[in-house]
Structures are given as C-alpha cells and as structure tokens.
Structure 1
Amino acid sequence: MSADRQIIHMDQDAFFVSVEVRKDPRLVGRPVIIGSLSDRGVVASCSYEARKFGVHSAMPARLARRLCPQGVWIRGNMDEYSKASHEITEIIQEQVPLLEKASIDEHYIDMTGMDKHFGTLRYAKELRAKVIKETGLPISFGLSVNKTVSKMATNECKPNGELSVARPGVQSFLNPLSIRKIPGLGEKTFIKLSDMGIKSIHTLSQVHPEYMTSILGKNGIWLLQKAKGIDESPVVPYHEQKSIGTQSTFNNDSIDVQNINYLLTSMVMDLAFELRQTKKQTACVTVTIRYSTFETVTKQARIPYTALDSVLIGKTKELFKQLYQKRLLIRLVGVRLSNLVSGFEQIDLYSESEEQYSLCQAMDKIRRRFGPGSIKLASVIDLNL
C-alpha cells in the first residue's frame, strides 16, 4: 500500500447539538446539553460552550448539572440525527471516489491518485463548503497520508476548521500532542504510560519496540506505529460495510405466527448483543421468509441508528407482519442488520429507552460471563419449531 495516500477525515462539530441549533437558532452560543435529566441520565452530546464548563459526553447528568447549572437541556431525537446523518452521507458519497462512514457523524475519504496534494486540499475545502451550504450543519476536516493522522488533524482544528498535514510534516505535527490524542488509546493504557513518564507522542515514538511489546503486548507495536504516523488501514467502501444476520430453517414447516415471532425475538436479541459487543449500531433491518414452496421474500426498513433490543425487535416484528401475506407454511425465517456504523454508547445513552439500555447492559454482563445463550426473555425460552 502506498505510503503517500491522500485521506480526508470529515467530522461534524457537536453533531447532535448542531442539528438542534439548525432547528432552533436561538440555541446559538448557548451551553446546550443533549441527554436525560433523570437521576440515571447521562450526557449524549454537548455544545462547545458547555464543554468549557467541563461537561462531556457519557458524563452523568447529575454531575453535568453541577458543572453547568445554566445548561440548556434537550432530550434529543435520534430519528432526526439519523436523517441528518444520511443527508450528509449522500452529499459526500456523490462527490468522492471512495467513502467510508466511520460513525454517525464522521467519514473517511480516499482521494489517492485523483489529484496532486494541493488539488486534494482544494477539493476537500469545496466539499466541506458544499456540506455546510446544503445542510446548514458545521463540519471540519483533516487531510493527511492515512486515517490516523487525518483524524487527529480534524480533532486539532475543530470546531469549524480545516487542517492539512503533508508527509514531511507528519511527525512534527504529532510530536507535541498528548498520547491521549491517539485514536483508540484507552484510559487504562493512558494512565499506565503516563505513570511511566510517557505523556507526549514524541516520547512514545522514541520507545524501543521490544519494550513496548513487553508492557503492552501486540497493542504496544500498534501504538508505537500510530505515534510514528504509520497506519496502513484502508478506507472501507461504505456500500460494502459489513452486515450481520442469522436465519433458521424449521424442522417442520410452520404457520405458528406466535412461535415464529418468539423465534425472531430471540434471533434479534443475539444480533443486538453482537452489535453492542463490537460497539456498533444499525440503521437498516431486513427480514426474510422462505415459504414451503421455496419462494423467498424479503422486506427491509431504514431506522434511526440503534443497538437496543426493544427497537430492533419491534421493527423486526412489524416487517414480518407486513411480509407474511400468503398464509402459507413457512420453511425459514431470517433477520439481517446492515448500514453498520461505530459508536453505540454515543447513540443510546440518552435515548428515551434508558430503562431498556440499563436492561441491555445488565443482560450483556451476564452473557459475557456465562455465554451468549445464558439469558433470554421468558417468551422465547421454549420454542417448538
């Protein structure tokens, strides 16, 4: 893979807040906090004005209220945020040769071989201006030789910024930054390295590979490469984003709609658990039916980004009801979740289904300890299909 790729990272500025501001311009310049005010609520997103008070995403609402008592709280609307996300993706997708949707509010674009570097920078500026003009939503971008450096460039120029880091300037750009700025570096690793005196990327880049391996294993080499501006990971085309799915063929062809719905519920619960384990969400549900005649039919629907069992089960049952019209015996049913992006916690922490989220967390903890099939809803335990 060429070392001199041209990768653009585009990221919305305080995305959920920006959508709310677009809807209500009176919120401009105010400390807006998206989340639930309940005792168990958390912050899903907040404006840059609120961040000045120390508020950040995933913070308990109780603490956020203490830090920023003048904050303007908005419960949030995942449906609106999902629609805005699709709107932005469609604009970018029409303009670039290779696009990866990394999360609900960020995209990677591979412009390698399309133009000289200055030309790519100009193109990125024009694309950013187009997104802002057509959506009314602020967006920033970083342009560099790989995904890691371009993302870090975006983070350094936000909000409402642009930054290009060409090959000769990569290390000098990275060196003064805190190791905390490296994408994917967790809190435990940050504390461990900081306690060892490794706080800047420059210091980290000087550590011997064998020593990094001895303290962090394979992750140590991965981290060392990031500190040196090395990242060969490709931009994965959005239309090829992985989906997950499952299907079940019955021992005997069935027309028992109640039992089939129980089975679909069980299947969706397993898929939703897999989503959360990989910190993904889905924006599209597809249900498949194969009749005893071997005729196969499918129906799909776009949904707000989620990884919550309750939302996915409800949509799956709705699609099955719409699909099952012939009243013939059924041989097979299947469910597939697609349009996957990262960032489960960011999306669902604030939703109106706080109790459902808490239930998912509790059930996931049991599954991780005792296995994926260790806990089910009572209605799906005894299936006779």
Structure 2
Amino acid sequence: MSTKEAGAGLKGLRVVEMGQLLAGPFCGQLLGDFGAEVIKIEPPGEGDPMRNWGRERPYGKSLWWPVVARNKKSVELNLRGQAGQQAVRDLVEKSDVLIENFRPGRLEGWGLSPDALLALNPRLIVIRVTGYGQTGPYAKRAGFGSIGEAMGGLRYIVGQPDGFPSRMGISIGDALAGTMGALGGLVAINARHRTGRGQVVDSAIFEAVLSYMESMIPEYVIGGYIRERTGSVLPNVAPSNVYPTRDGQLVLIAGNQDTVFRRLAAAMQRDDLAKDERFATHAARGKNAELLDEIITEWTASIDSDPLLDLMEDSGVPAGRMYRAPEMLADPHFAARESIISLPHPDFGELPMQNVAPRLSDTPGQVRWVGPELGAHNDEILRGLLGMTDEQVARAQA
C-alpha cells in the first residue's frame, strides 16, 4: 500500500507573499509546490506585473503567470493604505512565513518592519529577497536580476571569447535568489523547532549568483587567474563540447574522464587516440582541446544523430541532444517521469508546464492549480480567515 502523500511536505505552513515580478514569487512558487498555503497579496485592480509578462500572450494573457503563480491564492490589498496594512498585520499573526522583495525600507515605511511583525508573531519567518541585500552601501539601490548576475560574476563568463558578455536565456539571477530565499526559510523553520522564535532571511541576488561561482575567487587571489568567456567549452576539460552530425543535429559529448575517453576512442575506432601522449591524460587533453575537438567533429559529421547517440549509449559515453520545448515534449524519459504535466486553465484549456523538482519519495510536491485570477481568494482569506466585513474589505482595497 502506498504511503505517498502528494503536496504534504509543507502542509500546514501558511505563507504570505508580498513580492512581485520574479525573485520573491519564485520563492513562493517553490514553497507552494510542496504543499504550503501561499497567500499572494496583489495591488487591487492591477495585480502583479507578471500577469502581463512573457513574449506570447494568447487571449491577452501571460503564459508565464500560470507557472510562477501556481498553487497560490490571490488576495487584493492596498499596501499603501492603513486599512490594507492592518489586514497584513492580521494575516501575519495567523501565518508562518512572509516573503517580500521590495526595495529595502519599503516595508518599514508602511509600518510593517520585520521587528514590528515579529512583535505580533514571534514565530514568523520573514524572507526578504532584494538585489543587494538589506545592508551595505548599495542596499537601497534598485536591483534587478540582470544586475545581480553581472555583479555576482556570471555574466562576464557567459558568451563567446571574442564577443560581449552574454546573458542566460532565462532570469537565472532572480531564480537563484528565490531558491536561496526558500532554502533560508526552511532552515529558519527548522531552527524555530528548537528556539520557538522566527527570524529574518536576507537573500541578495548578487550573493545568490556569487555562491554558484565555484572557485572563481581563490583562483584569482591565490593563482592570479581571472576566468574568461570560453564559449561552449570549459578550459582544460576535454572533450566536452557540442558536435555537429551528418543530419544537421547538434550532440553534446562529454568524454573528459580518462576511462570515458578510452571508451569514446574505442567507439570511434581510434584506440590510438587514447595512447597518444597529447590525449592520454586529462591534463594533456585539456592542453590540446582544440585539436581533439577537430578530430571528434570530423568523425561526428560523418554520422547521423540517432546512430551516434545509440553508439554513445552502448559505449557508456555521456551524450545528448540539445533540447528545446519540442524535443522535451517528445522524449519518452520526460513522459515516463512526468517531468511535464498539464493542468486545466480557464482560457487555454490544458496548459502544459514543468513538474515539481526535486522528487521526494513519501511527500512529493504537486501542482494543484495554475496561477489564479486576480482576487480569486478575497472571500476565502479576507472574509473567511480574517473575518473582515464588506466595509472593512472595501477600505483595505481602496
């Protein structure tokens, strides 16, 4: 008998999300995916700008919103008015976590500082996601994800060596800061089990990016080395690159480990490469990566992608296609793991999106519904949970 309880990992945890756009809302999305009740506060009549973001907007609606706002409840409150601010205080008293990603000082200006909120609810966890953090000389600057990616070191090393620094095709800085905010929030909740007290989680975009920069700092301080853009390869790691095939496809082959390279050489019917002093060791291949890539490219260009991938699998050499959405939707592995799911949407019918990650054996995450309409949960939260009258709701939304 199965003991799985989908969406129950954070069941019973109530989260108030006051952020907008992406970094704070992504933090809320992660918590909601694992069962937390996420109550998203939005400006009356306007909502989160994410409702209008994204390149494709059929029916005039965003395809991004249903993903980033999934599993959330939408409530309209005017945070600039005293009645709206009081509603937040009342809600915080009944909640476990508050997420916000306003510029530092905004909450304080509304009389909703962490100190004030913790005085109302000493067990509250306040997750604050910003560009530069809550302290330091840059704290009050406007901070977008792109700036955090640049300051955190990521932008400089992405792109071709002879071109300008490039960007990732997604808002990676915001996502990393949101992920770190969620991680910090869960650590704080665990600490609360011991202490009985809440605390503030300060997640800065530039520091979230910086935390992923591997050994960049000691490489410079100790070794005097500054990482540069290297295009599709990593310096001194070969072969690990994208190679063309006869049928016009691109296949990534990663054969940089010594034992794996010997298997690759055998698959190429080039055992001589594994014995060649220029390629026999990891260090040697790194020094001669360009020459080795030329040899492998000449070989892959003579083979169609399907037999090449079959050969790599049979030989125990990691390899894969460069996937886009069409390839993901057609892949049997994605289907078997239900990596992409579909949910009903009032305008789009069945709406596909990525499933929850990571996988938990007993309390897996679950997407219960797509991003809601603006104010869809006003009655449930304001009148139901908080017991507000129609007059009080009207003042809080004015």
TM-score normalised to structure 2 length: 0.25
TM-score normalised to structure 1 length: 0.25
Higher helix share: 1
Higher relative contact order (CA 8 A, sep 6+): 2
